[in-house]
């Protein structure tokens, strides 16, 4: 990686005595009016800018009020915000901004700003803006230059290594001594030395994860920017791509994660063919065999032999009426659902085989399930199991008169603490899925409802593209990214053993 230090200052040697005196008098007048601003707060612009680009560049700003952004009303108007946006646009990469600058600082305070950084932090690009306060406080030019050179030496490049990275020495010395210092314990001059202990940087290629979505959501699932940012914070490049885009080079990915491919149920053969083709050139999380099993709701019959599930009957075009009548005789009112479906689409509620609502049936085959009345009061619970661990829960409530909890039918979702009863069923359901499929399941979402007898039962085991509800539970992004990083570190399609 290359280090870039942008040094902007007014402490150069070209100022004559008269100019210095003029500036000093103007500064004294300004100080009487506004006071000394040391430590005054500027807008907080530290964030990942343009997170959808991925592959972030770490940008560090040190110095005085200009670098800190004092005077700007909003973060995008600060120097850091402007530089981050411009750099991201130029490189087509995300920019992760960290501002170490302090309002009112002189060049002598740069060392303290560097020492205040986390021990394992180093920037790809460091910009130092300082000098104005040195002039107003009559700091000798030679001292300002010395402080600036020392700061520029210490603001080195690199990043904390990921498990897949190679490493090399981190530059912590002046350019004159660098070549010799690499092979020795300290700078030979004795004047430039590491200010703090740091981890070696990554000089290896950052892993790439492609997040598969569909054409109507090219930027990914709702809240998908949180997922890209979470990967960026873990030194993984992630970006959203449309699964059926012929221009995508899937072989360039270290791993593919199917996320918001929410048209797969309409194009199942084509979708599964794409997954199998992609698996030939890159690992796909969970994978085609899992998807093929999970895409047909008949899997609930197999799962029901292992854990409680909502009672399910299979319906075909041939023999539809007698089979539907038998389900109504057993369950009362039923929900007829496509065996391959998503988002509550194509669901029909019927209480007799002559119910006119059955005219709205989509293409079969179908499943018939009882109407679980508790969904109108308790709603449906969704429990996320990532890396074999229950990690979060979202409760979903339908709109009045509805039994479908999805937002596009008026439903409302909210994150809640994981209930022990729900965690137990979710863990058991995923463990059952592992046994049935004969492979690990890095991610799963277990939807459940309470039956009339008081038991919780699985309504869906989502293994293809379960929404993470990042818009209401953004913390799921970091948890999902952690699982993917473990998979990448293990270099397998499943989960590596924990260290």
- List of domains in the chain: 4-181 (no CATH), 208-293 (3.40.50.20), 311-371 (3.30.1490.20), 375-490 (3.30.470.20)
- pLDDT above 50 for 376: yes
Distance spanning both ends of the chain, measured CA to CA:
30
Percent of the chain scoring above 90 in pLDDT: 40
CA separation for the pair 46, 98 (Å, rounded): 5
Give me the helix-helix angle, 475-490 and 224-233, nearest 10°: 50
Specify which of 83-97, 303-317, 339-353, 372-386 reaches the highest per-range mean pLDDT. 303-317
Q: How confident is the model at residue 133 (pLDDT cuts 50, 70, 90)?
A: confident
- Residue 119, both tokens: 């021990």
- pLDDT above 90 for 295: yes
Answer with the residue of higher pLDDT: 20 or 116. 116
Across the chain, mean pLDDT equals 79
Give Dmax (Cα) for the chain: 102
- Residue 278, both tokens: 């992609």
Work out whether the CA dihedral 371, 374, 377, 383 comes out positive or negative: negative
- pLDDT above 70 for 172: no
- Element containing residue 375 per DSSP (H, E): none
Answer with the residue of higher pLDDT: 47 or 255. 255
Of the given ranges (41-50, 133-142, 442-451), which has the lowest mean pLDDT? 133-142
Cβ neighbors of 95 (< 8 A, separation 6 or more) are 48, 49, 50, 56, 57, 59, 83, 84, 85, 87, 88
Residues 211-225 have a mean pLDDT of 94
- pLDDT above 50 for 164: no
Give the pLDDT confidence score for residue 307 in this predicted structure: 97
Give the pLDDT confidence score for residue 8 in this predicted structure: 37
Provide the 10 A C-beta neighbour count for residue 28.
10
The answer to whether 406 and 344 are in contact (CB under 8 A) is yes
- pLDDT above 80 for 67: yes
Residues 45-61 have a mean pLDDT of 82
pLDDT tens string 265-289: 999 999 999 999 999 999 999 999 9
Give the pLDDT confidence score for residue 445 in this predicted structure: 96
Residues 447-457 have a mean pLDDT of 94
pLDDT tens string 4-28: 344 334 344 444 556 566 666 666 6
- pLDDT above 50 for 349: yes
- pLDDT above 80 for 176: no
What is the value of pTM for the model shown? 0.59
């Amino acid at each position: 990686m290359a280090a870039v230090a942008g040094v902007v200052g007014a402490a150069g040697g070209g100022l004559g005595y008269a100019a210095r005196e003029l500036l000093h008098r103007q500064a004294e007048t300004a100080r009487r009016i506004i006071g000394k601003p040391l430590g005054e707060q500027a807008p907080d612009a530290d964030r990942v800018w343009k997170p959808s680009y991925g592959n972030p560049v770490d940008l560090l700003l040190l110095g005085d009020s200009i670098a800190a952004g004092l005077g700007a009303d909003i973060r995008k108007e600060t120097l850091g915000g402007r530089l981050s946006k411009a750099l991201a646009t130029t490189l087509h990469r995300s920019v992760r901004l960290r501002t170490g600058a302090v309002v009112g600082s002189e060049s002598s305070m740069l060392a303290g700003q560097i020492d205040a950084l986390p021990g394992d932090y180093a920037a790809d690009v460091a910009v130092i803006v300082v000098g104005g306060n040195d002039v107003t406080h009559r700091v000798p030019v030679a001292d300002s230059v010395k402080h600036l050179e020392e700061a520029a030496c210490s603001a080195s490049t690199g990043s904390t290594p990921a498990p897949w990275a190679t490493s090399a020495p981190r530059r912590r010395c002046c350019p004159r001594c660098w070549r010799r210092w690499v092979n020795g314990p300290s700078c030979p001059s004795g004047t430039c030395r590491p200010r703090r202990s740091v981890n070696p940087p990554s000089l290896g290629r950052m892993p790439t994860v492609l997040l598969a979505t569909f054409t109507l959501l090219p930027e990914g699932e709702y809240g998908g920017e949180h997922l890209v940012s979470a990967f960026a914070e873990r030194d993984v490049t992630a970006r959203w791509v449309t699964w059926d885009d012929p221009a995508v080079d899937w072989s360039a990915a270290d791993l593919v994660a199917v996320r918001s491919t929410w048209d797969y149920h309409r194009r199942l053969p084509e979708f599964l063919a794409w997954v199998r083709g992609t698996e030939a050139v890159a690992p796909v999380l969970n994978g085609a065999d899992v998807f093929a099993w999970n895409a047909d709701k008949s899997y609930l019959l197999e799962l029901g032999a292992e854990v409680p599930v909502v009672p399910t009957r299979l319906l075909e075009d041939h023999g539809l009426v007698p089979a539907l009548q038998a389900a109504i005789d057993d369950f009362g009112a039923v929900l007829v659902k496509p065996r391959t479906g998503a988002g509550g689409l194509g669901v029909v509620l019927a209480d007799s085989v002559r119910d006119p609502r059955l005219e709205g049936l989509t293409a079969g085959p179908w499943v018939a399930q009882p109407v679980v009345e508790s969904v109108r009061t308790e709603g449906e619970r969704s429990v996320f199991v990532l890396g074999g661990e229950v990690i979060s829960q979202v409760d979903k409530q339908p709109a009045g008169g509805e039994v479908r909890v999805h937002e596009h039918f008026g439903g409302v979702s909210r994150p809640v603490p994981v209930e022990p009863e729900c965690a137990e069923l979710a863990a058991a359901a995923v463990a059952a899925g592992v046994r049935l499929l004969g492979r690990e399941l890095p991610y799963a979402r277990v939807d459940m409802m309470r039956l009339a007898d008081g038991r919780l039962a699985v309504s869906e085991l989502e293994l293809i593209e379960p929404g993470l509800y990042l818009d209401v539970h953004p913390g799921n992004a970091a948890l999902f990214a952690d699982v993917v990083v473990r998979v990448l570190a293990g270099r397998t399609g499943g989960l590596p053993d924990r260290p």
